Amino acid sequence: MPDAVVPPTMRAMARWLVKTEPDVFSIDDFARSKVTDWTGVRNYQARNFLMAMEEGDEVIIYHSNAEPPGVVGIAQVHAKATPDKTQFDPSSEYFEPKATEANPRWFCPDLKFVRKFARQIPLDELRGTKSLEGLALLQKGSRLSVIPVSDKHFDTIVTMASKKSPA
């Protein structure tokens, strides 16, 4: 018997992790802006993940290229991905000369700020948490700026954020 087809309206909420550099767009910048289009992603696999995001999906915000890097808050997908406008702007560092309005290459969803964690969870603490085994962020060579996150991993991270940091 073939697998049942799930109508798009019955899709289970997905969960994601996106990386941002705090000197470019920090969690505090996000809190001030409330909603932002998640522009500038220039990796095809990460782009495909952005395009898979649906309104209401939950997103963990991760500060990369920070000292220390770590998880800092939660956002929610506010609107599905549309063409990333920076690809059409010749003055943008994200300009894509091969992209056209009729044939865009890069897409970005709108993300809505939900909350900043009371504390940052550093990468080393994430690595030391047994229940986070298998999280793509922690795998050697994982450099994607957008990754799917299982419910178990998402819930573990949120729980960790509500507890005091280990001594």
CA–CA distances in Å: residue 155 to residues 57, 116, 165: 14, 15, 17
Amino acid identity, residue 48?
N
Q: What is the pLDDT of residues 80-126, one digit of tens each?
A: 999 999 999 999 999 999 999 999 999 999 999 999 999 999 999 99
- pLDDT over 70 at 10, yes or no: no
CATH of domain 12-161: 3.10.590.10
Per-position DSSP letters for 113-149, written without gaps between them: EEEEEEEEEEHHHHHT-GGGTT-GGGSTT---SEEE-
pLDDT at 111: 98
Domain map of the chain by residue range?
12-161
pLDDT for position 140 = 87
Give the per-residue pLDDT at 1.
46
